[in-house]
Amino acid sequence: MTTYIGLLGCGTVGAAVAEMLLTEEALLAKRSGQSLALKRILIRDNGKTRNPKIPANLFTTKPDDILNDPEIKIVVEVMGGVEPAKTLSMRAIKSGKLLVTANKHLLALHGAEIFRAAAKAGSCVCFEASCGGAIPIVLALTRGLIANEIDQVVGIVNGTCNYILSEMSSTGKSYASALAEAQAAGYAEPDPTLDVTGGDSAHKLAILASLAFGVHVPFEQIHVSGINTIDDMDLRFGRELGYVCKLLAIAEKHGHGISLRVHPTFVPQKHLLANVNGSFNAIAVVGHASGQTIHYGRGAGGRPTASAIIADIVEAAMGTAPLLFKQLPLLTRRSAARIVPMHDVTSRHYLRMMVDDKPGMLHQITGILGKRGISLAAMVQHEAHEDQFVPLVIMTHKAPDGNVTEAVAKINRLRGIRSHTRHIRVIDPPQ
Amino acid sequence: MTTYIGLLGCGTVGAAVAEMLLTEEALLAKRSGQSLALKRILIRDNGKTRNPKIPANLFTTKPDDILNDPEIKIVVEVMGGVEPAKTLSMRAIKSGKLLVTANKHLLALHGAEIFRAAAKAGSCVCFEASCGGAIPIVLALTRGLIANEIDQVVGIVNGTCNYILSEMSSTGKSYASALAEAQAAGYAEPDPTLDVTGGDSAHKLAILASLAFGVHVPFEQIHVSGINTIDDMDLRFGRELGYVCKLLAIAEKHGHGISLRVHPTFVPQKHLLANVNGSFNAIAVVGHASGQTIHYGRGAGGRPTASAIIADIVEAAMGTAPLLFKQLPLLTRRSAARIVPMHDVTSRHYLRMMVDDKPGMLHQITGILGKRGISLAAMVQHEAHEDQFVPLVIMTHKAPDGNVTEAVAKINRLRGIRSHTRHIRVIDPPQ
């Protein structure tokens, strides 16, 4: 029996899905046992040049050609963004079609509503491609690791940022020139804002945390800072101390609550996550029985994302996805998350100040830190050369984030401190 | 509705499964939506001291108490070895019970027969725990990466060997003392033969390759060599050349055939697999759409293995596993594998000879290699000290395995070559 599929959107990912469904029908049937047929593709602009492997008669600009076609059983949403993706996805669900989506932005903001609607309509939502591209991380969290109480999810989930940070680390380039190079190589968008500010990572974190902890994640409560303020000087100091800088998305259990944060993070060089380079993604999960597992692969790109989307299509066609969606509490019967505020999150911290090379500065700085219970684990200060201001690097022992940000604000107001003190959190590998 | 479970075996893994099912019932129900109840546990020896968290009345020495109990829907086989595991598993399947097994040995040798029987009986076989412990690699190959033509599977799948090699590399210990330490630390069995000779890795490779390529793997055609002949001197030379030694299980597509092999392998230091240390496992999969994914975690131990077994129990209870088993060709409708013989497999090679420090030796050796089309990529020879024999290390360009083993046999027969020439294959990371 053939399962008919409608595609909403035909950008990089949509075109890759369409091409695989059309040209690799035999391979997919052999591998999955399913006969899958792409019936229509919704596009916005009929005038655009399209992949010549996709027959022109599949394209339509009318959503109804897909949403009102009773033969189409599975709708794949690869438009991205919130609207019109949301309206069309809700219509698909309500008409009983099974929804496969790669849209992390939509799910992070409106996942609860969409999942509820799907449960009510007896439909299902599959979203493997929304996080980690080709990496089967949704599968791992909802199935492979289902027996575990999850303590921590830590991911490099944005390939653009990882590419830029890897380039900065390996070549000593500045942020601006690494970004320009990433754009030239196609690893960063012409407008990279959503990536470099950490927004895209936060979308993915919202989805991963909801699965790991079985909770609704209030997206706006995720603490987010990006890589756009990272100075190559700090990457060098980090290396000197044994760390590599990565933009990490972290969800962690703290007592009865969870903390949720995206920020540049120093990772010990020996940790596998420190060795994830270029545009690759990797997600580490710590479960109470499994211990740590790490899931690594291409987090973006047409074909890697299509790999995940087609896996979802197969499970939808096979009937396993609807069965799972109906029964798995992580998907539709989530409790409200208790979010631990950022100022209560405890970690080690890297601070780099530009300090006037005169007596008494270190005494004042250590006074401010000590008063807030922040103790020093390591310190680096090289001799001054041309400048009267020298970088002073402090690595702290574990301390609450709020105490450190308060201390940094105070330090920034000292006479003899130039420019903004850099503050990078440090993560320790799980035991 | 409660699903009743019978356990065959109560060693390290069985006891961990039992303890989790008994003491974490609420967590499992909350996470999975399934109410799971352990009803009976088959043991061999009633006299042994058991985990006090397991009520004594669950134990039985009579298989019929499980296999003839109509209330028991899922049978979990964690006895290991071929018999009586095979007979009991076949009985469970034939009486319509769903089988969950961690038994790689059994599946590698008799998987085809067991899967056929399960398909015929309308039962199913779940075996996530048979490879990679807590790592959801069976899930990845059968579901997450189902849309891919798989080109290569490369795994570190034996924690004992990886622990020993990691210790040898990091401390310079000999094989014998690293093994003794692994035994003292509980990472190696009192009789470690099946691990260190590569047999256990080959069992897992048979299972992984059958899933990756949808074929029946004739176990006896896997080329197997173990770590028990590894000399710490070669690990040092490898490091000098930029490589780390790992016992890899490799299944690779070559034209219309596949090659299957387990052997100590030099992995470039930058490759993530080179950075998998201690008793951890990692499996790299290269798919035509996904590119490379890597799946890392604890490959053995009671609770990590129980994590995978309970995930299988949940899917069996939920009904997704039987549905998948019925439909997925990779599981039950496999073709016969076309195995590429080892002598046709092409790779780079590391050779270390103990050479008499006299004129003409290098000339003879390069002559033997050159005659078989083997060209040199790098060579290391340090000055002789006390001994008249000096190690000569050669790294070749790509060459067929048969040519190299033939050349090595010839070199070993040269006058002026002492002891056995060491030959370690080198793997290149995928593009």
Which of B163, B139, B141, B158 minimizes the C-alpha distance to B150? Answer: B141
Number of domains in chain A: 3
A37: which residues sit within 8 A by CB, 6+ positions away? Answer: A2, A3, A4, A5, A21, A25
Question: Smallest CA–CA separation between A271 and chain B, in Å?
Answer: 9
What is the predicted pLDDT for the residue at B45? 84
Phi then psi for residue B178, to 5 deg, are -65, -40
Across the beta sheet with B72-77, the strand order is: B59-60, B35-42, B2-8, B72-77, B98-101, B125-126
Question: Smallest CA–CA separation between A128 and chain B, in Å?
Answer: 8
Asked if A292's CB is within 8 angstroms of B303's CB, the reply is no
Question: Smallest CA–CA separation between B148 and chain A, in Å?
Answer: 7
What is the predicted pLDDT for the residue at B358? 83
What is the predicted pLDDT for the residue at B50? 85
H or E, element range at A3: strand A2-8
H or E, element range at A86: helix A85-94
Q: Give mean pLDDT, residues B366-385.
A: 90
Give the percent of chain A with pLDDT over 70. Answer: 99
What is the predicted pLDDT for the residue at A358? 83
Q: Give mean pLDDT, residues B39-62.
A: 92
Cβ neighbourhood burial of B241 (10 Å; 0-12, 13-18, 19+): middle
Taking CA B260 as the corner, what is the angle to CA B256 and CA B261, rounded to the nearest 5 degrees? 150
For the stretch A267-300, pLDDT in tens is 999 999 999 999 999 999 999 999 999 999 999 9
What is the predicted pLDDT for the residue at A382? 79
Do A7 and A46 lie in a common domain? yes
Taking CA B137 as the corner, what is the angle to CA B131 and CA B139, rounded to the nearest 5 degrees? 120
Query: Does the pLDDT of residue B201 top 80, yes or no?
Result: yes
Q: Give mean pLDDT, residues B260-271.
A: 96
Count of CB contacts below 8 A, A vs B? 203
Contacts of A310 in chain B (CB under 8 A): 146-147, 289
Query: Does the pLDDT of residue B47 top 90, yes or no?
Result: no
Asked if B287's CB is within 8 angstroms of A147's CB, the reply is no
Question: Smallest CA–CA separation between A417 and chain B, in Å?
Answer: 40
Question: Smallest CA–CA separation between B332 and chain A, in Å?
Answer: 11
How far, in Å, CA of A266 to CA of A273, rounded?
10
Do B163 and B98 lie in a common domain? no
In a domain, A29, yes or no: yes
Q: How many CB atoms lie within 10 A of CB A64?
A: 10
Query: Does the pLDDT of residue B431 top 70, yes or no?
Result: no
In a domain, B431, yes or no: no
- Helix, strand, coil % over all residues of chain B, rounded to 5: 40, 30, 30
CA quadruple B179, B180, B181, B187: dihedral, nearest 10: 60
Which of A128, A138, A320 is the best mutation test for B, with the most CBs of B within 10 A?
A: A320
Do B220 and B321 lie in a common domain? no
Query: Does the pLDDT of residue A234 top 90, yes or no?
Result: yes
Query: Does the pLDDT of residue B306 top 80, yes or no?
Result: yes
CB A391 within 8 A of CB A382: yes
For B132-178, the DSSP string reads STTS-HHHIIIIITTTSPEEEEEEE--HHHHHHHHHHHHH---HHHH
Tell me the two tokens of residue B331.
């599981």
In a domain, A381, yes or no: yes
Do A35 and A170 lie in a common domain? no
Q: Give mean pLDDT, residues B42-56.
A: 89
Radius of gyration (Cα) for chain B, nearest Å? 24
How far, in Å, CA of A190 to CA of B365, rounded?
57
In a domain, B385, yes or no: yes
Give the percent of chain B with pLDDT over 90. Answer: 88
> By mean pLDDT, which of A419-423, A427-431, B73-77, B181-185 is the weakest?
A427-431
Query: Does the pLDDT of residue A431 top 70, yes or no?
Result: no
Asked if A324's CB is within 8 angstroms of B304's CB, the reply is no
Q: Which residue has the tokens 């893994």?
A: B13
Cβ neighbourhood burial of B375 (10 Å; 0-12, 13-18, 19+): exposed
In a domain, B138, yes or no: no
For the stretch A385-414, pLDDT in tens is 667 789 999 999 999 999 999 999 999 999
What is the average pLDDT score of chain A?
A: 95
Asked if B30's CB is within 8 angstroms of A329's CB, the reply is yes
Q: Which of B20, B139, B324 sits opposite A147 (nearest CB)?
A: B20
What is the predicted pLDDT for the residue at A184? 92
Contacts of B21 in chain A (CB under 8 A): none
How far, in Å, CA of A312 to CA of A76, rounded?
10
Strands (E), A190-331: 215-216, 223-224, 243-254, 257-268, 280-287, 291-298
Q: What is the ipTM of this complex?
A: 0.96
Query: Does the pLDDT of residue B60 top 70, yes or no?
Result: yes
Asked if A140's CB is within 8 angstroms of B139's CB, the reply is yes
Do B314 and B373 lie in a common domain? no
Report the CATH number at residue B388: 3.30.70.260
Contacts of A297 in chain B (CB under 8 A): 290-294
Band (pLDDT 50/70/90 cuts) for residue A357 is confident
What is the predicted pLDDT for the residue at B385? 67
SS3 assignment, position A332: helix
For the stretch A292-310, pLDDT in tens is 999 999 999 999 999 999 9
In a domain, A149, yes or no: yes
Q: How many CB atoms lie within 10 A of CB A23?
A: 12
CB A430 within 8 A of CB A268: no
CA quadruple B94, B99, B101, B103: dihedral, nearest 10: 10
Do A170 and A277 lie in a common domain? yes
For A175-186, the DSSP string reads HHHHHHHHHHTT
Longest dimension (CA), chain B: 81
For the stretch B131-178, pLDDT in tens is 999 999 999 999 999 999 999 999 999 999 999 999 999 999 999 999
Band (pLDDT 50/70/90 cuts) for residue A417 is very high
CA quadruple B408, B429, A310, A290: dihedral, nearest 10: 90
Query: Does the pLDDT of residue A126 top 80, yes or no?
Result: yes
How far, in Å, CA of B108 to CA of B207, rounded?
6
Do A8 and A121 lie in a common domain? yes
Query: Does the pLDDT of residue A255 top 90, yes or no?
Result: no
Do B361 and B313 lie in a common domain? no
What is the average pLDDT score of chain B?
A: 95
Q: Give mean pLDDT, residues B197-213.
A: 97
Q: Which residue has the tokens 């004992």?
A: B160
Report the CATH number at residue A58: 3.40.50.720
Q: Which amino acid is at A290?
A: S
Query: Does the pLDDT of residue A165 top 90, yes or no?
Result: yes
For the stretch B311-369, pLDDT in tens is 999 999 999 999 999 999 999 888 888 999 999 999 999 999 999 888 889 999 999 99
DSSP alpha helix (H) spans, B345-413: 361-371, 401-412
* CA contacts within 13 A on the Cβ side of A298: 21
How far, in Å, CA of B92 to CA of A149, rounded?
31
In a domain, A210, yes or no: yes
Do A120 and A147 lie in a common domain? no
| Nearest residue on chain A to B144, alpha-carbon basis | A136
Query: Does the pLDDT of residue A197 top 80, yes or no?
Result: yes
Which domain does A389 fall in, by range? 344-426
Q: Which of A278, A298, A318 is the last residue of a domain?
A: A298
In a domain, A205, yes or no: yes
Asked if A315's CB is within 8 angstroms of B28's CB, the reply is no
CB B298 within 8 A of CB A291: yes
What is the predicted pLDDT for the residue at A385? 67
Do B317 and B396 lie in a common domain? no
Do B275 and B167 lie in a common domain? yes
Do B375 and B277 lie in a common domain? no
CB A67 within 8 A of CB A84: no
Q: Which of A24, A31, A296 sits opposite B294 (nearest CB)?
A: A296
Q: Give mean pLDDT, residues A62-74.
A: 98
Contacts of A214 in chain B (CB under 8 A): 30-31
DSSP alpha helix (H) spans, A376-425: 401-412
Query: Does the pLDDT of residue A334 top 90, yes or no?
Result: no
Report the CATH number at residue B214: 3.30.360.10
Query: Does the pLDDT of residue A146 top 70, yes or no?
Result: yes
| Nearest residue on chain A to B285, alpha-carbon basis | A297
